[in-house]
Amino acid sequence: MRETLADWRPAIDEAIADLVPREIDTDYLETFFGPPTYEYDPTGIECALSTPLWDLLDRGGKRWRAILFLVFIEGFGEDPAEYLPYACIPELLHNGTIIVDDIEDGATIRRGEPALHHVYGHDIALNVGNAMYFLPLKVITRNPAALPADRRLAAYEMLMDELNRTHLGQGMDICWHNDHDLQVSTDEYLEMCACKTGCLGRIVAQLAAIITDQPAAIEEAVATYAELTAVAFQIGDDILDVEHSLGRAGEFGKEFGNDIREGKRTLLVIHALEESDPERARRLQAILEADENTDDEITEALTILEETGSIEYARDCALELAADARAAIDGLAFDAETIRKLEEFTEFVIERDV
């Protein structure tokens, strides 16, 4: 799977650069957005939009959502190169959500460097993040691959539905780490993931199915696969945060004990609060509620997660979701190579070390 990611990433970045060039000029602005009412400021737009976005993109990121889209396109018997601009849609949406997410969470590090709002200010970071929700829609407007009107409308309506649900998930997440008295269940956590992360996965699969005119049953099957894979990815992300902090994972690109510092209700934390003895549970809760934590307190919280077997529990849950994802596409008429790649994706999202 790493080879597939490496092979496609340069093409993805080139397609993104067609949508948001590193260097902004008047010709691009007039072609992409139409003539100005008075006069554009290309330099200002580049400094406040393009430069911060490419700062984030150049730091890394796996582009797995865009590449999974292309795997589906190829599996549906189409030429991925013809639909490459559409692969930018989930990738830009994802990066927009993490820019805004970092601001809402008060995150300090993203992909090994200061979060964008610490580099460019909250105003620019918010504007860039919000722009990433809307710029991808220009792909549908420009209509690569000359899609008929009904498919373009279906793609647009799907995007609106799923993007609305992502904000439900983000709202749940924000509420939980602001109100520490709330008791969060495993199912509520999984629903939050299904909205916040799973909807971006569903966008990947549904978009590929819609623009290649697949039957509704196939669209729903691949959407279920992608949603479950994305939820497994989120749990894997939570595990990586802990294992990185315990020194057992690769360079993760986030602050030591990031999720604990933010008071996040991850699956590991929910399990640890349920399984710890009352005194240890209260201590973990106190560390999560604190406005600031020392490194010793972070280590103490991580030790509680270890002692309760919460890391293993979360990994087992992620593996079960990955198996369910594979089952969702069992029987679809994909070729053997596509099946291999899709199965590898469900393993990669859990077993990766960065």
DSSP states along 165-179: HHHHHHHHHHHHHH-
- Say which residues have a Cβ less than 8 Å from residue 184's Cβ, sequence separation at least 6: 176, 265, 270
Residues of the chain with pLDDT > 70: what percent? 96
CA 167 – CA 207 distance, rounded (Å): 19
Work out how many domains the chain is built from and give that number.
Answer: 2
One-letter identity of residue 223: A
Is residue 201's pLDDT more than 60?
A: yes
* pLDDT at 50 exceeding the cut of 90: yes
- Indicate the residue among 94, 120, 146 that finishes a domain: 146
Note the pLDDT tens digit of each residue in 100-152.
Answer: 999 998 889 998 899 999 999 999 999 999 999 999 999 999 999 999 999 99
What are 215's two structure tokens? 């039957």
Instruction: Let me know whether 18 and 116 are in one domain.
Output: yes
Q: Which SS3 state, helix, strand or coil, does residue 243 take?
A: helix
Residue 346 pLDDT level (bands cut at 50, 70, 90): very high
Query: 158 with 272, same domain?
Result: yes
The residue type found at 53 is L
Which residue do the tokens 């594979």 mark? 326
Same domain, 141 and 213: no
pTM, rounded to two decimals: 0.90
Give the mean pLDDT of 56-70: 91
CB atoms within 10 A of CB 141: 9
The amino acid at 166 = T
- The values of phi and psi at residue 23, to 5°, are -115, 120
The pLDDT value recorded for residue 353 is 59
Tell whether the model's pLDDT for residue 251 goes beyond 70.
no
Place of tokens 């340069």: 10
Domain carrying residue 141: 1-146
Give the pLDDT score at 320. 96
Q: Which of 146, 166, 195 is the last residue of a domain?
A: 146
Contacts of 213 (CB under 8 A, 6+ apart): 151
Question: Is the Cβ–Cβ distance between 314 and 270 less than 8 Å?
Answer: no
Q: Could you tell me the pLDDT band of residue 352, with boundaries at 50, 70 and 90?
A: low
- Are 322 and 350 spatial neighbours (Cβ–Cβ below 8 Å)? yes
What CATH number is associated with residue 70? 1.10.600.10
- Mean pLDDT calculated for residue range 178-198: 90
> Max alpha carbon distance in the chain (Å)?
67
180 and 68 inside one domain: no
Q: 167-171, 268-272, 285-289, 317-321: which has the minimum mean pLDDT?
A: 285-289
Region 223-239 average pLDDT: 94
Average pLDDT across the chain, whole number: 91
Q: Which of 131, 146, 161 is the last residue of a domain?
A: 146
Residue 257: what pLDDT?
Answer: 78
Q: What is the pLDDT of residues 271-317, one digit of tens each?
A: 999 999 999 999 999 998 888 888 889 999 999 999 999 999 999 99
pLDDT of 61 above 90: no
Per-residue pLDDT, 264: 84
Do 132 and 184 sit in the same domain of this protein?
A: no
Burial track 58-76 (b if 16+ CB lie within 10 A, e otherwise): eeebbbbbbbbbbbbbbbb
Q: Are residues 252 and 185 in the same domain?
A: yes
> Can you tell me the distance from the alpha carbon of 152 to that of 211, in angstroms, rounded to the nearest whole number?
7
pLDDT at 245: 79
- Portion of the chain with pLDDT greater than 90, in percent: 74
Rounded distance between C-alpha atoms, residue 141 and residue 137, angstroms: 7
Whether 249 has a pLDDT exceeding 60, the answer reads: no
Residues 82 and 136 grouped into a single domain: yes
**CB–CB of 48/127 below 8 Å?**
yes
pLDDT of residue 254: 58
